[in-house]
Amino acid sequence: MSEACSREVCSTEKPIDTMVRESIFNKYKTYGPAVGSFILLITGIILNQVEAQFFNQYFQVFLFGMAYLIIGGPVVWKALTKISKGDIFNEFFLMSIATIGAFFIGEYAEGVAVMLFYAVGELFQDAAVNRAKKSIESLLKIQSEEVTMIKDGIVSIKHPKEVSPGEVIQVMAGEKVALDGELLSEKGSFNTSALTGESVPDTKNKGETVLAGMINLNKVIEITVTSRFEDTKLSKILTMVQEAVGRKARTQRFITKFAKVYTPIVVFLAVALTLLPYFVVADYIFEDWLYRALVFLVISCPCALVISIPLGYFGGIGAASRNGILFKGSNYLDLMRQIDTVVMDKTGTLTEGVFRVQEIKVEDFDEKLFLKLVAALESKSSHPIARAVNEHVGLKLDNTNIERVEEISGHGMKGRIDGYEVLAGNAKLLRRFNIPYDPEVEDVVETVVVVAIDGTYRGYITIADQVKADAKQAVEDLHKLGVNNLIMLSGDNVRIAQKVAGELKIDKAFGGLLPEDKVRKVEELKQQGHKLAFVGDGVNDAPVITLADVGIAMGGLGSDASIETADVVIQTDQPSKIGTAIRIGKTTHKIVWQNIGMAFGVKFIVLVFGALGMATMWEAVFADVGVALLAIFNAMRIQRMRFK
């Protein structure tokens, strides 16, 4: 696309009148055959009822035959096509032989009606599947097709694939961000619902990360691109969703295999029902027993099972995606409902993963100067604790003289600040330099920075991670859902881990763990027979996520490694979504088995009546198409449910 080309001029969209004509044609193509066949069927039934003289057998065959060909021709053709490929026993074959058989014994209206209702059922199935796909399709459409790039002062429109990391893009108010990057403008406000499922605006400051799929809400902003189009978080999410559709649950796989065995058995039973009575029934009439067999075939069609079960799982995946949860396959929906043990990492999962100053205690020294000296020394470290101190103090250190800074591994920092000798670190640092300090420092649960100035203890600063707002609710929800074994694993010291666990009412907590220690703990739990989910967010959590029965990653701020290895990704970074995921899994399973029970129950009852000659084609239509429609409507319920 040329630089001078505007979006309006270069638009490749079709003219509105062409799109309207195509829409009308597509609707006629979809619904026309059913409408035409229905009109011919009703006409034939009326003429038969009024006993019109011209409506003889030949005219009946012609009229009902036309009605049948319009609606049943494609079904018969599909049956023949599949037979030519070696796939004989399928729903198309069942419907074809049943309805053609009805014509053979003179039941023209019933033959057309069965095929018509079958076709209408298929239309409802297509509509239901399209509705189930809608939330995922809308997700797949949120990738931008073009981006405004600024290079050497020149503005140009390009496809996101043509933009490299380091280049600058411009995003208008109301426009989607096309690529991951860092905000170059001072401030921006974004709608992140496409990624997180939450519509609360998110304000970003200069230098903070902005992700593809976010919508710029206010003024024009500029972003420095950090990832290629295919490497953006959004692209990875879409890949996960697309792959999820192909991963079937055990129930789905069973029904697919079952239908392949079930259908030929039904056909042979129908043949037996037609021929065997000849040897045992005194007043055997071939047409009567053939009619019973045809009714038997219509009832036996496995449509309700074949469509409603995948639709139920598909609806579950769609409902989860609307709640900011990505299941990488319907098999994980089944596994999620079986979970009895949830093991969680602390930092970034139950806590914000952002350290903040909690308390400052100064002894016999000016507090403002105390904070300035500590902040100046910590400004030379990249440690999260050092950053927390500097963010809290927020002083400009341009005129501060910082000399002889030394970082002592496992202890803290030492340096000369404006002529003062400053030590800042843990208690071991002061013991190393033989500086006495207040014993209460040893009792502080949080991370503590102990400070000595000119060889004298002058106080301490406590720093802690903030517990997430919904962490307590998440624990309560999991207990209510029957997860009776909640365990927290942390690399932090044992006292901090125990304090957070006590605050959240988690059953067990272990601290001071290395990544390999977490792996060992999870292995021990699995050996005890627990169905286990592990929730984490960091690179060090990836091995444990892989090991768990269901690995769950916090996908908003989590590392790419943990997201790649996880089975379920929580885009909102909210631990309360773990309970939501379990609810969706339980509800999906319940709906799927309701459909299985209803389909088998109704079909069995009507099959018995059909074999005994007490059911006609009309009851057969209900047992097949009617049950299929009821199952579809039941499966669609999950898309309207709330799982908060």
Show which residues are catalytic: 345
H/E stretch holding 405 reads strand 402-408
Q: What are the angstrom distances between the C-alpha of 539 and each of 227, 233, 324, 545?
A: 19, 16, 21, 10
Which residue in 246, 315, 331 sits closest to 550, CA to CA? 331
Contacts 24+ apart (CB under 8 A), 75-79: 75/115, 75/118, 75/119, 76/100
- Sign, Cα dihedral of 434, 439, 441, 443: positive
Q: How far is CA 642 from the centre of its chain?
A: 15
Alpha helices in 612-641 (DSSP H): 617-621, 627-636
H/E stretch holding 17 reads helix 16-49
- The answer to whether 148 and 172 have CB atoms below 8 angstroms apart is yes
CA distance linking residue 60 with residue 493, whole number of Å: 87
Mode of pairing for the β-strands spanning 420-425 and 187-191: unpaired
Residue by residue, DSSP assigns 71-139 as HHHHHHHHHHHHHHTT--SSHHHHHHHHHHHHHHTT-HHHHHHHHHHHHHHHHHHHHHHHHHHHHHHHH
CB atoms within 10 A of CB 336: 28
CA distance linking residue 385 with residue 450, whole number of Å: 12
